[in-house]
Structures are given as C-alpha cells and as structure tokens.
Structure 1
C-alpha cells in the first residue's frame, strides 16, 4: 500500500496542470450550480455554447467558458477522472507549454467549429443541425479528448495506434448513436487533435507511414467495429432523446410492444393488415420477450470477443447475427412503411407526406440494414484472418448442449400447452398446431408477430413457460458459444516428444532446456524442423519455459518466428526464464523485459572447495563421511524396487507435511525424475537406506552431456543435518570427474543477486518493486529467499533469468497465467491455506 501511494504521489507530482484543471472544474461546477444537478437555464444562456448563444446572441466567450463547466454531477466526476488520467498522460508527453496550446487549440476548434457547422447546417435545412440548433453545451471533456489525441503523436507506434483506435471508436459511436452537440464537438476536437499531433510528430522527424498490421491488430480492429455497432444501438436505447443518425437502431431493444393507446391511434389510420400485425405483437408482450430482444446484442458481444482471438466460429456467429438483424429490421421497416405510406399510397401521394417521415425512414433503413450488412461483408471479406477452429470435442459438446436445450425446452412448452389446451387463444387450438408453433417460441418476437396466428396462453404457469423458453434457450446458446470460442486445440502431436529430445541432444535450450520435455508443454517447430519452443497456453498467454531450442546463431529468427506464430493465434507470447543473451533480440522488437529470478551456477572443472567460504560445505562433507554415508549416481530405471519405494515415501512425507500445493511448471516433482535421461544422486546412510535424493537434468552438446541442472530435492525424516549440502557437494565432485562443464543449482524465483562490494544497487523501477513485493509476500509460503540463501553456500556465480513480453498492458493477464502455470490444480482448501500462510495466521 505504501508503494502504491508513493507511485501515485510521484505521478501526481508530474501533472500539476492536470490537477489544476480538475480542481478548476470542481470550483466552476459549484459556482455555476451544476455540482448537484444539471445546468440551469440561466447558466446555459450565459456560459453554454450553441447556435442560440454563440451566434444568435453574440456571446462569443461561450466557446471558451463551455470548456470549463461540467453539465451535471456525472460529467463532473468524469471530468475529474479524465483530467487526472488522460490529461495527465498528455501533460507528461507534451510538457506544460505544449499542453496549454493543445488544450485551447482543440477545445476552441471542437466547440467553435462545431457551432459554426451547426449554424450553417441549420440555415441549409440539414436535418441533424436543424434539430439540434437550439441545444446548448458545456463540456470539459472536449479539450481533454483533443489534448490526448495531440499527445498520441508523441507515443510509440503500439500505444499511438491503441489510443487512437479506442478514442475514435468511442467518439464515433456516441456521435452516430447519441448525436447530441457534446458528442459531435468532442469528435471534431479529436480530429483536430489528430491533425495537430501529426504536425508535431512531423517536426520531430516522424513520417506518416502505412504500417502493415499484424494478424492480431487487424483482429482487434475488426472486433472493435463489431463491438461498436453492437453497443451503439444499446447506447441510443439508453438515451432515446438523442439525435444521432443511427439512433433509431435502439428501437429494437427493450419494451417494443405497443400499448393499447398506441394500437388505437395506429388502427385509426393504418390498414387492417398493419393493425392486425401490431395487435399480435402487443399480445406477445412480457418480461421474457423483452429480455429476448437483447439476444442479438449478447451474441455480437460474444462474437466480438471471439474475433479478437481469431476464432472461426465467432466469425460466422457475427455474420449470421448481423444478417438476422437485417431480417428483423426489414420486418420493422415493413410495419413502419405500411403505416407511413399506406397500402394504397401512390407516387402522387408522396409530396403530401412530411419530409421528416421520409427522412427518418431513410435514416432508419441505413442504420438498421446497411450497417449490419456492411459489418457482415467486412467479416466475410476478412474470413481468412479468422481461421482458428475449436477442437472437435468442444464443437460436439456445443452441439449436444444446444440441441439438448432446444429439445428439453420444446418438450416443456408442448406439455404445458397440452395441460391448458382448452384455454389457449385462438379457441380450438389443436396439439398439432401447438407442435408446429414450437419453433416460433425461439424466434425474435417481432418476426412472430407478423407470421400467422399467434397462440397465446391464459395467465397461468403456461404463460410463464410461453414467455421464457425462448430467452432461456438463447442464454444457454450464448454461454455454450462462449465456451466453444474459449476452447483451444493444445495437444502434443505424435512424435513431438522425440523431436524435441533430438534437438536438445544436439544442443540448445540452455541449462533449463530439459524442462521442455515435461508434461503440460506443447511444441512449436519452425518450418525447417531445426528449432523449437516449448510453451503452454493459459488464458491466451503463451508461456515458454526456457531458452529456445535451436542452433547457435538461429536464436533471433526463432524468437521472431514464434512471436509471429503466437500473433496468428491471438496469444500474448511470453518468454519466461530466458537468459541475458536473448535480451537484445527482444529490445529490437520493442518488447519489455524484467528479471524473474537468479540462476546459481557452479563450474566443476575449476571447483576447489578451499578457503573460509567453503567451511560449512566441507563440514557437511566430513560429517557425512564420519557417519558412514555414501552416494550413488544412477537413473530411475536402474533403481531397485526397494529404493523406488523409499523415494516415494520420502516425497509423500514431504508433500503431506505441507497444506500448500506442490508447485510445478519450472519446478519438477516425482514424475519428472522417471525420465531415463535424468540423473539421480542418492545419499545412503550407514544402513544403506536413502537419506536424501536429488535429480539432475542434462544439458547436451552434440550428444554429450556437458552440464546438469538441479531439480528434485528431498530429504528423509531423521536424516543427518546438512545432508543436502553433503549430497550437492558430492554431486559437484562427481561431475568434476565426469568432465561436466557447468552445474546449475537452478533458478531461484523472484530472487536478486547480491550487489558486489563497492557497487551501487540499480535504481528501483515499477517492475522491480513488483517483484520485490511478490517475493516478500510468497516467502512465508514457499521460502524462495531461504532457498536462494541455501544455494549461496556453494559460492556460485549468478546468471539472471528474465521474462520478456510485448505489451506492458498484458502484465495482469501474464501474472495470472504464470500463477496458474505454477499452481494449476490448487484446490479451495489449498487456496485458503495459502491465504492463511500469507496472512501470517
């Protein structure tokens, strides 16, 4: 908490202008009376911008004052938050002088140009300008948005693209679907900010380039378009008084069922067919059918999420849903058209119709038909970018769930109707008619209302079933679709284990490379088959667990090829536990990296256990000799049944003593020591029983083991104190005899190598502070620091291991994925135990 407060304090110290603006709008809201409610009529006429004040009344100053007064308490809260965050980001990038210029330039252009265009449009009779010319606006968000987009020109390519995509996505959505003056002024300010930002970046030597987008970026862009066109109608439904060009699309949602007064008014002028259709639609009203109107929105949200991941099913779900919305819109438009034009209208009658009716009808056609059609075409044209299919088993499960839900709900509806058959409307409805009516229970209610007679149960449990079988089915369908999209094909192909072992024996992978053979990993091989990366995907994060397995000189290309492979699957690639020699490759790619631990190394060929620093280790060696201990260098396959039984007992005793789960991922357990390539070093007491066991992972060069890495360590109860020091030292001496070049005591997670005497510790960063916090937090549970101190007894050299990742925004997801990699099967009881341990209870 203290570090968080310190970080916030450091950030706020760098954005004084943003803090000042946040304070200013609080003061102006109190002075103008908008702190507790919307702007009053006096405030609007005096300080708000618009055609009637800025142009007609000549209040030129309103272009400025409108930028400093929030409209209501909600806009005040948004203004304060946006000032401290978005305007603060702009201030840090632009500096104070340029921020002031950007703030006033974009604010004045947004408000001033917006009012001018609105005035000219109203004079020309343009429908939006004419309809909003009496609206007045005060809005501090306009210059904030403009300043942010100016600052986007100072950002790197990744953040520049993201900020502009998200900002303009929201600006355009609100302008089209809400369309009040504030949203349009913000959009103009955003465009002005984009131009000014480009001019500023051009002065710094940056050129306007059309950069080729990766698969992931294109998917994000298309998913954002689908998201905006899905949420936009909902926004217009929430603000039915808006003037957006696409605002009528919101009429699909909510209570679309006409009231008795609506029916009476419509039937007095409309044809009998239209009147009958509207009466049928009214009879279908209820909470369940209202819920069912939001089904297209839910499906499009799921589709947008899946499109971001590159899923083929999400592509077709988006296409079909948009086409279904077109059909739904045409039914609506058919009703409205019949009402506006009448069945007997001719071209001679058209001049007599009000222009606003024809205009609204055309706009409705564009927003409810042409927009979803354009989205469906966009998805179809880009279908090759969404080629990731779900596993066959997952699709079968989806089909069974959907078909089962449809059958079960249909049966419930049929049975319920049969029980009240004599009470159904229309009178005389038969069982056959009920059965044929079943499919219509799952269609949008507007389609049902204009397709034949509608069967309506009386107020009863049957009416409840009538209203809810459709919504329940679509809820099941949506959840099943979400599960299907989340399913991934992540299986080891036949022969992959043999291929990775063959590459490891040739060389590559580093001291931690043999961990790639462990269960849970899948493998990527390059086209030539001479380079590989082991990884596991958790929550769309592809985590590697060692250096790439490739020949010297091929590291850079291997890293880039695997990153492209992850991008094509919409995964976040994370190179975990890689050594320092790989960092230049990641820096070339613009990635970030951080230390995740220290590997402790010994060099057997130069090993001499002499001097004071080796005293504790020599004491353990001498004590073991005095007590008659011996060592055995072997493999699991060479063990006798008695020895296997003893090792199992030692391991089970060690695990049973802990409430916490055994960690995995880069920490091996009993199963991993059974590999025939893994060496074991056993310590036997004077009676020949196993007192301790260690396992050693090989590191090959041209088929010869030139290094070993410590993995599995267990000591028996009652064994000699210092037995692990005895066993590791004996292993090092034995490896010296074997000609082994390097002995790794493995990595210590979240550890930091000691600073050499006379050297200064590096300045802390956010990442190092985070690592320190995690290390201290997890120390009571897993003793990382204690393990690191234990390895320091062997006077090792240190090699930092790193985590490299492409996007700092992905750190929360990366952290969660790595946590699941280490503790994939943590139970609820173990979770409670971990929390209690961390709390010190």
Structure 2
C-alpha cells in the first residue's frame, strides 16, 4: 500500500520541473524546432538533400523565386535545411541562440526579432543580387541564380539583439565574436546565407541597442583591457583569415581566393609575426601600436589603389584576399586609433646615462622607493604607463606622463629628502629645455611647500584619508555600520581572504575581472587611469588583495592594497586602490572588506592604511578661494554623476579617518588650461570630444 502511495505521489520530479520551466520560458524555440524536425522527417530531409526533390523550387527562397512570382518562399524556405548536416548545425545554433534570446527578451520580442531579421535578410539579399546581376561582378551573377533554405539568419538576428541586454565585458565580447564571424565568412566565402547574415547583423545590432539596452549603452569598450583584448583578437582574426584562405580556398564576393593564398611557409611566417605583435598589443605596448597602425594603413592604402584600378579600368585583378584582408585591417586600424590611449606602455629600454646606466627603469624605481620610502601614492609611480627622469647620481627619480605639451610629475619625487629642492629645480630645467610645461600632481603638503619656496603655486585637489592602525578598534556608535557588516558577513558565510591575486585560481581571477569590468560598464564614461588602477595593477605580486568569498566560491567583492614604503625597505602601511562589488552580491561587502583588511594589516604591524584620496573631492569650502579652486570644484561636480568621487569621499568617513591635503603644483596660471587638458588625457585617454562636451553640459 505504501509503495502504491509513493508511485502516485503528485510531487513533480526535477526533470519534470525543468521541462515545465523550458516550455514556459522558451515555447517559440522549442515549437519552431519541433516543426523543423517533423517537416524534415516527413520530407526525408533529415537523411537526404532537399535540392534533389522536384518540389524544392516551390519552397526555396532567393531572387529566382521572386521573379517567378513565388512570394511565399521567404516564409516557407526558412523551416527547412538543405542537407542533413545543415539540419543538425542549424538546429544547434538556433536552439542555443534563440532560446537564450527568448529567455532574456521574452517570447513576443524574440519572435519579432527572428521573423523580421530572417525576412529582411532574405528579401534584401535577394533584391541586392538581383540588382547587381549581369554586372562585372561574377559573385552577383552566381548568387542571382541561387535558391536556398535555412533559418540561421534568425539565429544571427537573435544574438545581435540579445547582446544589448548583456553587461560588460560580455556584451562587447559577444558582439565582437559575432561581427568577426560574419565579416570573415562574407569576405572570403560570400554565399547567399553569408549576405543574409550581414544584413541581419546590420539591422539588429543598432535596433537591439536602441530597443533593449538598459544598463549600458554604446558599442565602444569601456576599459583599457577590453580595448587591448579587442585589438589582440582583431589581429588573430586576420591571421585566422590567412589560414582559412590557405586551407579552404573559395570563390568570394571579391573573386577566387585560391590563387592568392601563397605558400605554406609564407602563411606560417605571417601568422607568427602577427602572433608576436598581437601579444604585445595585449600588454598595451606602444611600439606594437605604432607597428600595427603603420602596417595597417599601408595595407589599406594599397587596397584602395587596387580597387581604384579595378573599378576604373578593365584590368582583371585577382585581389580577392588583398581586398578582404584590407577591409579587416581597416577595422583594426580604426579600433587602434580610437583606443590609442590604451597603448601607452613604453618599451622598457636600459637606462643609458648616469649612475644607473644599464639598469631596467622598473627595477631601479622599485629599489629607490624601497630605499628612501615615499608617500601613500608613491607605489603608483611603478605602474608601466609612466616614464621616468633620473638625475646623474642615480639616487632619485621623478615619474611622469606627457600629454598636450605638458609633463605631469606623479606624486612626490622619490629620493633623499634633503635633495628634494634640487630634484624639483633640475626636473623643471629639463622640462623647459624641451619646451614643455611641468606640473607636480598629487603631492604632499611638504613638497608643495618646497615648490612654493621655488616660486611655484599650488591648489588642493583632494584629501588623503588616513586610518591610524595601532589604536584602531571598532567600538562605539560611530562604528555601528562597520560592526554590522562584519557580523552579517559571518552569518551569511562570507569569508575574508587577504591574498596575492596572481596566485589565485583562474576561476577567482576571472570573477574579479568580470566584477571590475561590469562596474566600469555601468559608468557614463570610459575607465579612468593614471592614479586609479585596475585588475592588471592588482595582479602585481607586491600588491595585496582582499576578497570576500562565500561557501560556493562566489566572489562578492574585491579590494586591492598598494604598499606604502618607509625608509629602509620597510612597508609601513597600505593604500586602497581597486574597490569593486558584485551588483547582486552581499550588499555591505566593501565595509566588510576594508574593515577586515585593516584588522589584518594591524596584526601584521602596519602603522597606517590610506583609503586614498578621491580626485576633485574635498571637505573645504571653496566660496572664497582662488579661481583654480573654483574651477576644480566645478569639474568635480560635473564628474560626480559619472564616477561618484564625492560620494566615495563621504563613504570613507565611516572609518573615522584623518585627512591630509593633496596638491597640484604649477608655476603660472597661464599654464592651467594646458595642464587641465593634459590631466584629462591622463585620466581618460580614450575619452572623445563628444564625451567631454556632454560632461561639461552636465556640470552646468
């Protein structure tokens, strides 16, 4: 009796529950595939070619059916496959992409996207080849006779549309992969289906962005790493095209590719050279940027000349591969030029003069910083995008970046304190000898005073927030929020780990990258740089990283801490740099991470923790100050909606810090406009004039 009762138990199994969920969430995808399967079974298309059937011309789409008055074919043709292999491939592509789109967009929207994309692809492609028929383009003449079936264009449309709903970095990656696939197949295969895919992508990428994008907008990458990865991927796509043309020659839009594929060894050499340069682009190297730009511009120029000769004369050219790769190079050059600010890492040459001759600059900088110590921001001078000036004695250095004819010296010069006046004076002389405008950015009050004695002027641009660790205790009403965050994390199983990020498993690093890039993607402007680091800087073995991880291995938040050196190779404290949280994760995770890090550093014997200074955020009133102070105040207000510097400054007050002023030192008010432009380029190397105008309008 009990066994029978168990058998009749109405409680649904896990499989039944999943089936019901799928039927409820993706009915269009499942229904369409069921129709395709039944028709394939009924017609025998699942095991034999359809184009051998007498009724095939009655259901296939293309230009010939339209000229014959068979206007139903754009609808009937997209529920069949030409061969058994196509049935399988199309079903997998459609099932994966359209189900994903239906899950995120809903059934009604997905049906609209797929139907309109498929019909637009069929009709526009048919009319295009029909209008181009009987021209000198053999490709158009050939496709004007094609009758085709299939439903991959609907899947391409769905992927293009649903990409607008994704967050960074996946929205960019999906779009880049989709565009690369469509571009390569169209340029080097150029079948009727490839033309349909191109049209569907051109329709639903912008339409999807307009209709479905909510949290992020635009097509341009937000972070330096994404720009570099796109450029890296672009070169690999060009290399892949060379390999594909060699092993799979075809007859494309631009002509036959078999005659241009070259030898195996020339193809291999091309791929190896591209791989080497691509890897350097991935690292942001400036020399790789210049080399790629130069070669790409040369390739595009030669391609345009070839096209001009072919169009303007009867000269029969076999430039299919040249033109195809030329178009790919044009896209690569456009990406590199638009994202040029992401490729500022200089080629590390040995120091050629003074006491440090033959030394690698990065090594010398770290040794001098450990020997003489620095400010809470001095570790930022070790970042690879900086350049360095070393006096002849080799005991000092100034880290700087150069933009718009201005040299921005980053934080205090490093070296013996008694030589600071001489270091500033000598550095100024060197800048003037090169016709450049010098300024000192993010300096301490001590350096600002020394610069003042040398005739410089200064303006406070931020406040460094310092927490003294020896007396730190989270007691009293003022620390209630911090104690609550720690207690709540304990209850929810959130663990704090202080690690070297580079030593963590790939899964953890990938989550950290995703959290950071998603955070950047939500901003109205691209990722900031200069004194604001990211995941790449956090991967330095000298940097400590705080992670909040739950029992399932999910990272809820991340903070990175830069070492603060005192004299004699002693780390006396740590400076907060990266601070990111998972949007749907443990809410007070940042409070938990900072508090836990402070406790860990206190136990290690550190003296201070700097929560760092938020740029353009101050506690002082600027009503009766200098014009430069009011200018900085206005710029800070304008950037607040985008980066929240002031909100961040207010958040750090929870940790009861003391404040130390941070200064910009300049010699003449007449230099300020140029300094302002240079600082903008340093912080936002990828920002466009349009973005700056919009920023200024918001500020008003």
Q: TM-score with structure 2 length normalisation?
A: 0.48
Please say which structure displays the higher CA radius of gyration: 1
Q: TM-score with structure 1 length normalisation?
A: 0.40
